[in-house]
Amino acid sequence: MGVFDFHKKKLGFGLMRLPLLNENDISCIDLEQVKEMVDIFLARGFTYFDTAWMYHAFKSEDAVKEVLTSRHKRDEYTLASKLHAAFISTKEDRDTVFKKQLEKTGVTYFDYYLLHGIEDSTYDRYLAFDCFNWLRWQKAQGLVRHIGCSCHCSADLLDRILTEHPELEFVQLQINYLDWGDKNVQSKQCYRVATAHNVPIVVMEPLKGGTLANLPASAQELLDRAELRASDLALRFVADLPNVAMVLSGMSSLEQLKMNTDIMAFPWPIRAKERLLIKHIKEKFKNLNAIPCTNCAYCTTKCPKDIPINSFFALYNQDIHDTNSKIPQEDGTFWKAEDTYYNQVASAHAPAGDCIKCGECEKLCPQHLPIRDLLEKVKERFGN
């Protein structure tokens, strides 16, 4: 049996952007809504769930037990989790984290387990702590069924990883039509490397953190004329790639889950005219000076000032995209909804100007963003 033969449908539920009870606290998950989402997801024939140690401020794996594993039979779903290099400092830490993950999720084994976010700055760390052999040992013990890695790296490094570690059964890559051909992300090149190694791909960020589901007005107009939904185009683009075995989507509401499962129940192949439409949408994005953040929130997990970096970047991009929201005031200034939201978020946490330039956030950013410099841009746009 192949690695992904269990799955009849290739949409995975990414448990990284779950609905919240408090929008200013990513650890405050709306468990009741997620339970309903999980039940519908399974009822529609989808079975793959993906979590990780630090998702939702280390609460995602706890939520898995509440919404999934304590409520459904073990053969009704498959579960993936991950080990991230940033949270291990000794070989013993590998076992400590892994044991805790099993306890938190309430399972006796993981169907899929990954070394998380391998890139140029972390690969040597995984090697130093002998994580690849450790991963093989977890599989030999029956604590993991299938082993893989997620990568935000160059195609050259991916080729090295898959060459040096043929035991890896799958790889998780960031692929979407906006990053396809991007010189930094190298989605296309990494896809080709994995395919050349005959390693199946799990796609992450098919909607680029929601960017491709909520297009700027100029791009949305193109879709409206074509009578297409933004999520439909983005999900089908990656599902249409031959070597893609699973497409993860971090769904933040019941509405999103219903829409995405509708799309991925029978994803139609991308047509020639849709590829041309994608080209035009990408051209629209080139004219924007947006921050290419995917809203994963990894950057916040070690911020000593509790700055909600990903939320600020989302507001910054929204402010750029939504030029129609600026309402003139009597004093000649403009009121924007984004200003109000920024102040609310900053009051609950810390403003962008509180950044002490320690760089911990940049070590964790899978997009390799110059976060400290970008926070200065946020401060300039919204004040402090």
- Residue range 263-276, pLDDT digits in tens: 999 999 999 999 99
For the segment 208-235, the average pLDDT, to the nearest whole number, is 92
CA distance 12 to 62: 18
Residues 29-41 pLDDT 10s: 999 999 999 999 9
Q: State the virtual CA torsion across 141, 145, 146, 149 in degrees, nearest 10.
A: -70
More confident residue, 179 or 317: 179
Q: State the average pLDDT over residues 136-146.
A: 98
Q: What is the average pLDDT value for the chain, to the nearest integer?
A: 91
Nearest residue to 218 via CA among 323, 83, 353, 66: 323
Helix (H, G, I), strand (E, B) or coil at 21: coil
- Mean pLDDT calculated for residue range 8-27: 94
Q: What is residue 341's predicted lDDT score, i.e. its pLDDT?
A: 64
334 confidence band (pLDDT: 50, 70, 90): low
Residue of 248, 295, 281 whose CA lies nearest to 114: 248
Stated as kind and residue range, the H or E segment containing 362 is helix 360-364
Question: Which one, of 47, 80, 48, 77, lies nearest residue 61 by Cα?
Answer: 80
Read off the pLDDT band of 331 (50, 70, 90): low
